[in-house]
Chains A and B, each alone.
Chain A
Amino acid sequence: MERDPGPGGARRALGRLLEAVLASRGEANAVFDILAVLQSEDQEEIQEAVRACSRLFGALLERGELFVGQLPPEETVMAGSQGATRKYKMWMRHRYHSCCNCLGELLAHPSFQVKELALGTLMKFVQLEGAHPLEKPKWEGNYLFPRPLFKMVVEGLLSLEEDRSLLLSQFREYLEHDDIRYHTMQAASDVVARVANGHPEVPLIFCNNAFTLLSAVSLPRQESDISSFYVRRTELLDKWKVTHLKEHRRAFQLMWLGFLKHKLPLSICKKVLVIMHDSILPHLAQPSLMIDFLTRAYDIGGAISLLALNGLFILIHKHNLEYPDFYRKLYGLLDPSVFHVKYRARFFHLADLFLSSSHLPAYLVAAFAKRLSRLALTAPPEALLMVLPFICNLLRRHPACRVLVHRPGGPELDADPYDPGEEDPAKSRALESSLWELQALQRHYHPEVSKAASVINQVLSVPEVSLAPLLELTAFEVFERDLKKGPESVPLEFIPARGLLGRRDDLCAQHFTLS
């Protein structure tokens, strides 16, 4: 093959070859030249070659010039004594296969354009092959889908070495089609199972890729929504699995359970838990199967436990899950970091839900209130503004706990009877204690906090304070609010300044010098 320098030349050369192959069967050997360019070094040339292949095999598939049915190995084809046309078709089908393999390898190409183009071409082949199946239907109305080809695509996407999130976001648009989604789920479960079995520790990159793909799958809510198919069908038969939402759900469940049953890195766990309640649990055929994963996550501790809480709550609330020692574990989750983590709002929202029942025993609520107020001693103001009303709400809901703030005639104690180290709320002796912490917080430097803590000085008013606006409060918002507050007069310092560190009994002056 003579080659002109530059991409223009390559394109022209490839164009000529393409014309030749499509025009007469005699020139079929030119296909080798085209396939050779696919492995070129130059990415421009590769792109041209991919486009040429796309046109070539697209045309061949549409014309039906590829062999249909079980494909014998190439040597036997050449040796065999079939008709020339049949031989040609078989040979061409082999070329088609090698082209697809090449494209699959190109999915790992360093250049994103090439990857994108290869993906597009493969998906085009999937579409055409679906429309003109390369295997014979076994019976009338047999549902045929190029599964091997598609599985290759998914395998290419779920790379072990490289983060493919960009390519996956490209792939996301194909996932809108119901058949693609269905087969993706199947292929993904296969790939995940295979990779996980191959490695004792699932590689992080693969997990990331898999999570990106899996989280991109979102099932429709209703049966009737399944109507958009990537591979065009003349009619949709009711007996096809792909047309049933139930089957989709089953595949979905298989996929997620298959993914989650392996030991995943913590970051992936977190991500999964974040989307769990919203986009995984509602679509599972049997949500209660998720309990294994959730309990495992709940036992890990820290932020992950907080996140697992949400899924557990849904299972308990909607699917009648019985979870032993739930409150005890919840109590155990309360540690000082609770006020500093990112998921604070979510956690307190749920905690509020869990503790909203009026049938909880008083000792439990008292323990929670005491624990929270103890933790409040280390909390930043924005968290305090939320947790103080939270505690007050608890006391409002459970009048039996009001002794925590109002114990007339109680004996004076030497020490706080509450035991912070005790894990069991029942044994923490919280009911014998009082909320001195809130009293201390009345001396907090921030006026709003001080006011919120001073609520306990009076008899608590009946209506609960709505927590919703306080949950998401950030320090920056508190700051802005303080800045914007009233244009009242500005009181001034009356002790005149004598320099940066010039004031008497100035702490900074004691410990710092200017030079």
Chain B
Amino acid sequence: MGKARSAGARRKAPGIPVGARGGRARPNPNPFEVKINRQKFQVLGRKTRHDVGLPGVSRARAIQKRTQTLLKEYKERDKSNVFTDKRFGEYNSNISPEEKMMKRFALEQQRQHEKKSIYNLNEDEELTHYGQSLADIEKHNDIVDSDSDADEPGTLSAELTAAHFGGGGGLLHKKTSQQEGEEGEKPKSLKALIEELIAKSKQEKRERQAQREDALELTEKLDQDWKEIQTLLAHKTPKSENRDKKEKPKPDAYDMMVRELGFEMKAQPSNRMKTEEELAKEEQERLRSLEAERLRRMLGKDDENSRRPSHMSADDLSDGFILGEDDRRLLSYKDGKMNVEEEQSREASDGESEEEEGEDSGEEDPEESDDPDGHSDLESDGESEEGSGTPEKERRHAPGKRLTSDGQKAREAARTELPYTFVAPESFEELKSLLSGKSIEEQLLVVERIQKCNHPSLAVGNKAKLEKLFGFLLEYVGDLATNDPPDLRVIDKLVVQLYNLCQMFPESASDSIKFVLRDAMHEMEGMIETKGRAAFPGLDVLIYLKIAGMLFPTSDFWHPVVTPALVCMSQLLTKCPVRCLQDVVKGLFVCCVFLDYVSLSQRFIPELINFLLGILYIATPNKQNQGYTLVHPFRAFGKNSELLLVSDEEDMATWQRKSLSLHWASGLKAQTKTEANHTRLSCLAVCLALVKRCVLMYGVLPSFHDITRPLRALLTEHLADCSHPRELQELCQSILTEMENQKHHCQPLICEKSKPVPLKLFTPRLVKVLEFGRKQGSSKEEQERKRLIHKHKREFKGAVREIRKDNQFLARMQLSEIMERDAERKRKVKQLFNSLATQEGEWKALKRKKFKK
């Protein structure tokens, strides 16, 4: 049945009367115009969009559109000049006529204004209203008012006025023109018209008066009601005023209690305070989970959902810090008496800050004012211009706690000098200028304050600023390290700041570290390419490596920062020949850092063994017999092959084991020969300690003895050479026994059993269909691509169809033009023939007449 109907509809479709070309959808269309696309099967969940269509209507719409655009173009195809209507908004139907008029008027005014002399200071522009001077209107103001108030028939409505005087408003123009049009249609006498208008306006007036009376009545009623309610609400309103003036009446204790209780009810129930044990337990739990995470990364097991644990420093810097909170505290520092008042004033200022925040300040106020040392408020108020950032509470947050203990006074002095807010530096030079010339504490304070003032929670751009700050600080650290002598103490403190910043912005911090590492490596690579070997880099690179190990977990199987740092250290140990004592210290430091990196993961470092072997070698006199081979940076013979050899008996006797100074790494020169010799022995001691550590660490490796064979050979040589101090000899001996103690275990290697390859099965593969109508079994990108291709194809087809239809339309138009022309011609020819025939007929008739005569 449906089929028949649709067929019928299709048949009917072309023959739709022209009347249907309305372009607007009718509420109930002619059933003969509707085409229904029959669905072959009902599929649940499928959306059908094109089940009903109105071909006639849409065709009519298309044709109309073409006549409006294409046909117009076609007709104007040979015309070069165009008539443009530049009146403002003439063809814009979105603007209402009034608006249009306003705009036009404004434009006109503007144009006029522009043309006028700009030096004309006296404004002689006359303000008008509806085309009448405002000045004039003002004069008649009273009259008009009295008119409207009084009930006289003389009141003139706008229309009336317009009709009489022709006001300037756009609306009026239109209306009058309409009226004129009407008048043109059916002429009315002017008198009748005016009468009609008067009647109308009178009625309007009456209505208005009635309305006004009603409103008045209502207002009165409302006022009365309000008075009744007002008594109930009286105590609520004056709150804010009272606060400002500080002269509110003291409420009695009972009221206070009542209100307090009332507010307590609203308070959210919170968790009970945790006991110490619970806190410790929690912390332990947290550390355990972090450790588990670390182990997982160390083993390199890839976890898909590698959620990053939200690391919090123990001191938890990043918790809701509010700058304003601390404003008042520093007030109490002035005039030397701050130490005494510190505690109290902190309370006071706490209270006050609460008041400032003022969620429930109304309740707290009385207590506040009851506070015995209320004057401190005043004091603090007076002093608050001093600054807006403050250290004391911040320091409680800050991890650098031990600072508080030392140099209290010096700090105080410094604090009075330092400004409290700092703009985050935009360049390294800025930071440097901020920090240079200040003491350690001051520098720390400055960095701390920069962080506080630019905490990401305070403003939008602060995150980027602090991210940059990390890079600058790092650069600054490098700068300090290259100084002579290096400011290691400052670096020591700054590391804490770096750590905190790193916790906040891991990505940017890792990028900064990578950048400095790349820089160092690049420099080394350049040197290797030109000279074939590189020199040990400055202390800064070593410090960077050390810092990288403190900021990031070094035990990960793969880590974006730590792995490159490891490669970098390996390069240092393999590519840089040891040419002086300084190089030895640097190399040993790198070894220490390297071993620190792998202290948890216990990984194997061949370069390190080689390097230690080399160091041990240069501490012995050159010999021919060898159970070992030296590799690259060391050579068996040559200039530096006995660099660490100490031959002075006395120096050996006086040597005391002590830690090496990092200043050695940055160009410190030994003053005396004895000092140099002592340093040599210290280096040797460090080297032996490291060897021992390696031995302990790598004892479990399967080929431990093959790894340590050269070391053992050298150590026995050392031992044989009895000139060393006793301590060193003991160390050697202990290492050797340690080595002996490691058991051999040579279990033959066996491959893991691989899973047997499963047989091919012929069961069909089942794919879940998640969405109908979409191609399955391809990736998201592929699907997207297909969708785009499909869309393009469809659009292309549509465009082609449109073009074809355009052409058809044009052809039809041309044909009709030709036909019209032909018809015209035919008509004219016919006419001519007609006239000729009549002429001929007349002439013949005349002739016949003549003949008849």
Q: Count A-side interface residues using an 8 Å CB cutoff.
A: 78
Interface size on B, residues (CB 8 A): 105
Taking the closest CB of chain A, its distance from the CB of B448, in whole angstroms, is 15
Choose among B525, B596, B749 the residue that contacts A507 (Cβ–Cβ < 8 A).
B596
Q: Mark A409-427, 1 if CB is under 8 A from B, else 0.
A: 0111111100010000000
Determine whether the beta carbon of B748 is less than 8 Å from that of A459: no
**Residue interface bits B483-525, CB-to-A below 8 A is 1, else 0:** 0000011011101101100110011011000100110010001
Q: Which of A402-446 contact B (CB under 8 A)?
A: 404-408, 410-416, 420, 434-437, 439-441, 443-446
Contacts of B629 in A (CB 8 A): 335-337
- Specify which of B552, B589, B745, B750 is in contact with A492 (CB 8 Å cutoff): B552
What are the interface flags for A387-409 relative to B under an 8 Å C-beta threshold, 1 for contact and 0 otherwise?
00000000000000000111110
A-binding segment of B220-228, B310-318, B759-767, B838-846: B310-318
Contact A489 B506 (CB under 8 A): yes
Q: For window 543-591 of chain B, which residues contact chain A by CB distance below 8 Å?
A: 543, 546-547, 550-554, 556-561, 563-564, 566-568, 570-571, 574-575, 588-589
Mask of B576-618 contacts with A, CB within 8 angstroms, 1/0: 0000000000001100110111110111111101100000000
Choose among A376, A416, A437, A496 the residue that contacts B313 (Cβ–Cβ < 8 A): A496
User: Which partner residue on chain A sits nearest B687 by CB separation?
Assistant: A511
Q: A491-B556, A512-B662, A513-B660 are in contact. Are A380 and B749 (CB under 8 A)?
A: no
For the complex, what is the distance from the CA of A500 to the CA of B308, rounded to whole Å? 26
Task: Check if B311 sits within 8 Å of A378, measured CB to CB.
Answer: no
- A502→B596 CA distance, assembly (Å): 13
B608 and chain A: residue at smallest CB distance:
A445
Pairwise interchain contact B488-A514, C-beta atoms closer than 8 A: yes
Contact in complex: A507, B595 (CB < 8 Å)? yes
Docked-complex contact B632 and A340, CB < 8 angstroms: yes
Complex contact A458–B754 (CB within 8 A): yes
For residue B443, give the distance in angstroms from its CB to the closest CB of chain A: 14
Contact pattern, A 332-375, Cβ under 8 Å of B = 1, otherwise 0: 00011101101000000000000000000000000000000010
Q: Please name all residues of chain B whose beta carbon is closer than 8 Å to the beta carbon of A492 when the two chains form the complex.
A: 311, 502-503, 506, 551-553
List, in ascending order, chain A residues with CB within 8 A of B564's CB: 479, 482-483
A374 to B748, alpha carbons, bound, how many Å?
A: 16
- B518 near A500 (CB under 8 angstroms)? no
Which B residues are CB-close (under 8 A) to A374? 706
- B703:A479 contact, CB within 8 angstroms: no
A513 touches B661 (CB 8 A): yes
A445 with B604: in contact, given A381-B567, A514-B489 (CB under 8 Å)? yes
Instruction: Report Cα–Cα, A482/B559, bound state, in Å.
Output: 9
Q: Across the interface, name the chain B residue whose C-beta is closest to A432.
A: B748
User: Is A76 located at the chain interface by the 8 A CB criterion?
Assistant: no
How far is it, in angstroms, between the C-alpha of A450 and the C-alpha of B547 when the chains are bound? 25
Residue B752 interfacial (CB < 8 Å) = yes
Least CB distance, A430 to chain B, in whole angstroms: 13
Contact residues of A between 475 and 506, Cβ < 8 Å to B: 475-476, 478-480, 482-483, 485-486, 488-494, 496-503, 505-506
Interface pair A404/B556, CB less than 8 Å apart: no
In the complex, what distance in Å separates the CA atom of A486 from the CA atom of B306? 14
Contacting residues, chain A, for B686 (C-beta < 8 A): 511
What residues of A have a CB within 8 angstroms of the CB of B507 in the complex? 489-490
Asked if B297 is at the interface of the complex by the 8 Å CB criterion, the answer is yes
Contact status A457-B752, CB under 8 Å = yes
A394 to chain B, nearest CB (A): 15
Say yes or no for B172: interface residue by CB 8 A criterion: no
Interface residue A64 (Cβ < 8 Å from any Cβ of B): no
The minimal Cβ–Cβ distance linking A362 to chain B, given in whole angstroms, is 17
| A80 CB, nearest partner CB in chain B, Å | 65
Q: Does B659 contact A (CB under 8 A)?
A: yes
CB < 8 Å: which of B568, B598, B690, B702 contacts A440? B702
Given contacts A475-B567, A498-B496, A510-B689, contact A458 B751 (CB under 8 A): yes
A321 contacts B by Cβ under 8 Å? no
Q: Tell me the minimal C-beta distance from A171 to chain B in angstroms.
A: 28
Determine if B719 is an interface residue (Cβ-Cβ < 8 Å). Answer: no
- A379 lies within 8 A of chain B by Cβ: yes
Whether, in the assembled complex, B13 has its beta carbon less than 8 Å from a beta carbon of chain A, the answer is: no
Q: Is the CB of A511 within 8 A of B660?
A: yes
Q: Does A468 contact B (CB under 8 A)?
A: no
Interface residue? A515 (CB, 8 A): yes
Complex CA–CA separation, A270 to B745 (angstroms)? 44
Q: Is the CB of A491 within 8 A of B308?
A: yes
Contact in complex: A482, B567 (CB < 8 Å): yes
Complex alpha-carbon distance, A441 and B749, angstroms: 14
Contact B496 A491 (CB under 8 A): no
A506 to B690 CA separation, bound complex (whole angstroms): 12
B745 touches which one: A412, A485, A493, A506 (CB < 8 A)?
A412
**Residues of chain A contacted by B61 (CB below 8 angstroms):** none
B366 at the interface (CB under 8 A from A): no
B287 and A416 contact, CB distance less than 8 A: no
Counting CB contacts under 8 A, is A447 at the interface?
yes
B567 touches A378 (CB 8 A): no
Contact of A445 among B553, B566, B571 (CB under 8 A): B566
Cβ of B659 and Cβ of A513 under 8 Å apart? yes
Chain A residues positioned under 8 Å from B701 (CB to CB)? 440, 443
The reply to whether the CB of B438 lies closer than 8 angstroms to some CB of chain A is no
Q: Are B606 and A434 in contact (CB under 8 A)?
A: no
- Docked CA distance A476–B512 (Å): 19
A486 CB → nearest B CB, Å: 8
CB of A508 closer than 8 Å to a CB of B: yes
Cα–Cα distance between A355 and B746 once the two chains are bound (Å): 28
CB neighbours of B748 from chain A (8 A)? 407-408, 410-413, 434
The CA of A489 and the CA of B605, in the complex, are separated in Å by 26
Kindly state whether residue A456 has any CB partner on chain B within 8 Å: yes
Minimum distance in angstroms from A233 CB to a CB of chain B: 47
Task: Give chain A nearest CB distance to B526 CB in angstroms.
Answer: 10
Complex interface residues of chain A between 172 and 196 (CB less than 8 A to chain B): none
Contacting pair B746 A381 (CB below 8 A): no
A515 partner, pick from B287, B314, B488, B631, beta carbons under 8 A? B488
Once A414-B746, A444-B604, A513-B661 are accepted as A-B contacts, the answer to whether A503 and B550 lie under 8 Å apart by CB is: yes
Say whether A446 contacts B566, CB under 8 Å: yes
B749 pairs with A491, CB closer than 8 A: no
8 Å CB contacts to A: which residues of B683-712? 686, 689-690, 693, 701-707
Q: How far is the CA of A510 from the CA of B294 in the complex (A)?
A: 25
Point out the residues of chain B lying under 8 angstroms from A412, CB to CB. 745-748
Q: Which residue of A lies closest to B559 (CB)?
A: A491
B661 interface neighbour in A410, A456, A478, A512, Cβ under 8 Å: A512
B752 pairs with A458, CB closer than 8 A:
yes
B505 CB to nearest chain A CB (Å): 10
* Inter-subunit contact A500/B706 (CB<8 Å): no
- Which B residues touch A339, using CB under 8 A? 631
Given A336-B629, A492-B506, A506-B596, the answer on whether A478 and B703 have CB atoms closer than 8 Å is no
Which interface residue of A404, A439, A486 has the most chain B CB atoms within 10 A? Answer: A439
Q: Chain A contacts of B847 at CB under 8 A?
A: none
Contact yes or no, A512 B693, CB < 8 A:
no
Given A441-B604, A444-B604, 11 more pairs with CB closer than 8 A: A336-B629, A434-B749, A439-B702, A445-B566, A447-B558, A458-B754, A459-B754, A494-B287, A507-B593, A508-B596, A513-B659
Query: Can you report 29 residue pairs joining A to B where beta carbons are below 8 Å apart?
Result: A337-B629, A381-B567, A407-B750, A413-B748, A416-B706, A439-B702, A443-B602, A443-B603, A445-B566, A447-B563, A456-B749, A457-B752, A476-B525, A479-B564, A488-B560, A490-B509, A491-B293, A491-B559, A492-B311, A494-B309, A500-B492, A500-B547, A507-B592, A507-B593, A510-B689, A511-B689, A512-B589, A513-B659, A513-B660
